[in-house]
Structure 1
């Protein structure tokens, strides 16, 4: 399945200038799914925007999701009738919105949808992510049927992690975009 578009799915508060998603948008021409509300995200609204972008794509898409974007992918896939248009998903550093502190900051996203994704996916997370314990990231990967990669020390795998254009992540995305379940 040849991917026609990479959809970037940032997390809560969007991805800033030094974030790998923003860099990929700039150097690779990937398309960021712009949400109406980055500070107080609503799961239904975010899912609807993702559905619009998947339907607007000229062909198959691949997702590059970060943090809350990973939780969005699972929620969207559970309800969309257009999952066949997704070649694969790179799920980076999911945020544990079932954790009490995050549940209060980002209400309405728990419980996390836990059914297997109907497309190829890889979940990569650091073992020192402040927003999701390593064991929870591993469990989410298992629940979603995603291959898990331990990124070692790297925090939330965002701009503060110093990944730059993150060629290793891009290669993972390229690899899973070629796979089709």
Structure 2
């Protein structure tokens, strides 16, 4: 059975032309909607993610962007049990680094997400980063991936991998998702 995708947006809830929103409609994904998508509060945002996970049956794959990546890692730190076990993997795209002074200066609301948990995630993850992301350096992205036990892949000079950097449909992301799903989903059991 194919896992259900859960979209975990960052600040602003990823607008109508953002690849997360396009994927939600294309793949029939569930979506985490924060009460205040401009003001992240780790425990509150993680609790909303938990609500969506609890309400969604079956195996799940989390697809997070920017501050949504922090939401996933905070949720993983706070959660336990069966809901966590149903997460087959997470695609973590363009994490926003709230501990980077320049990022925090431009977006002080991100400071609430610091410090980012650095424990190994209890499910496989693929972190996709950009060489010229204004919200996270490649070195920091690779260090986060290492701490979280995630595979890391560079998307090249792709900005923040959002609409402003020219990523609407983001076909390369769909390829990465497909490859990750193949790796995370156990093969069907064939009974003879």
- Tell me the TM-score range normalised by the shorter chain: over 0.9
Is the Cα contact below 8 Å between 1:120 and 1:176 reproduced in 2?
Answer: no
Q: Which runs of 4+ in 1 moved over 6 A?
A: none
In structure 1, the partner of 2:190 is none
Secondary structure at the counterpart of residue 173 of structure 1: helix
Distance 1:31 1:102 in 2: 29
Distance 1:78 1:3 in 2: 26
In structure 2, the partner of 1:148 is 152
Written as runs of structure 1 = structure 2, the 5 A alignment for 1:37-116 is 37-81=36-80, 82-103=83-104, 104-116=108-120
Is 1:165 aligned to 2:165, yes or no?
no
Distance 2:36 2:109 in 1: 14
Distance 1:138 1:177 in 2: 21
Is the Cα contact below 8 Å between 1:3 and 1:87 reproduced in 2?
Answer: no
In structure 2, the partner of 1:5 is 4
Is the Cα contact below 8 Å between 2:130 and 2:154 reproduced in 1?
Answer: yes
Total equivalences in the alignment = 180
Richer in helix (by share): 2
Q: Could you say what the CA RMSD is over the residues aligned between the two structures, in angstroms?
A: 1.6
TM-score with structure 2 setting the length: 0.88
Of 139, 149, 158, 2:143 maps to 139
The runs of 5 or more residues in structure 1 that have no matched partner are none
1:17 Cα offset (Å): 1.8
What do the CA deviations read for 1:19-48 (whole angstroms, capped 9, x no partner)? 100111122211211011111121111110
Distance 1:30 1:161 in 2: 23
In structure 1, the partner of 2:189 is none
Is the Cα contact below 8 Å between 1:126 and 1:134 reproduced in 2?
Answer: yes
What do the CA deviations read for 1:101-159 (whole angstroms, capped 9, x no partner)? 44433232110001111111100111000011111011111111111101111100001
1:177 Cα offset (Å): 2.8
The runs of 5 or more residues in structure 2 that have no matched partner are 187-192
Is the Cα contact below 8 Å between 1:25 and 1:31 reproduced in 2?
Answer: yes
